[in-house]
């Protein structure tokens, strides 16, 4: 009965590789997000999708490409991984009016780039 799930939970990879993180929500929400949390716990939004359409794209390198096959899924693909990409990546979802309702977060994916 997990509301927002992410896979994998841990990802260790070499610099230069390409990797994907998957996110699924079973809450019926229209809007999904990707956040990055760095080693100092600072949490910053990366992308937001509403009904499969991109609505927020913060200043993120174009090596990061989100893909939403349907409104229940928002995947994050990262090309040419760099050391600075090491972080915890959180997926979240929301229903209702923009900015008014709470967001539901997944458990996070800890990415380590060696």
Please give the residue ranges that form the binding site for other proteins (CB under 8 A). 4, 31, 40-45, 48, 55-56, 58, 90, 92, 98-108
**Least distance (Å) between residue 55 CB and other proteins:** 6
**Cβ(25)–Cβ(19) below 8 Å:** no
For residues 75 and 93, which CB has a smaller minimum distance to other proteins in the complex?
Answer: 93
For residues 10 and 61, which CB has a smaller minimum distance to other proteins in the complex?
Answer: 10
**Least distance (Å) between residue 77 CB and other proteins:** 21
3-state secondary structure of 98: coil
For residues 41 and 70, which CB has a smaller minimum distance to other proteins in the complex?
Answer: 41
**Least distance (Å) between residue 51 CB and other proteins:** 13
For residues 79 and 95, which CB has a smaller minimum distance to other proteins in the complex?
Answer: 95
| 18-34 per-residue burial string, b: 16 or more CB within 10 A, e: under 16 | ebebbbbbeeebbbbbb
Distance CA 52, CA 35 (A): 17
**Least distance (Å) between residue 70 CB and other proteins:** 20
Phi, psi of 84 (to 5 degrees): -70, -10
Distance CA 51, CA 74 (A): 10
């Amino acid at each position: 009965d997990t509301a927002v799930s992410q896979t994998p939970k841990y990802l260790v990879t070499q610099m230069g590789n390409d990797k994907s993180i998957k996110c699924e929500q079973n809450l019926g929400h229209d809007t999904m997000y990707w956040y990055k949390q760095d080693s100092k716990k600072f949490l910053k939004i990366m992308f937001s999708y509403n009904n499969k359409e991109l609505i927020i794209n913060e200043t993120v390198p174009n090596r990061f490409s989100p893909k939403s096959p349907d409104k229940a899924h928002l995947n994050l693909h990262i090309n040419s991984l760099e050391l600075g990409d090491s972080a915890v990546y959180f997926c979240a979802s929301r229903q209702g009016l923009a900015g008014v309702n709470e967001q539901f977060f997944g458990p996070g994916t800890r990415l380590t780039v060696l």
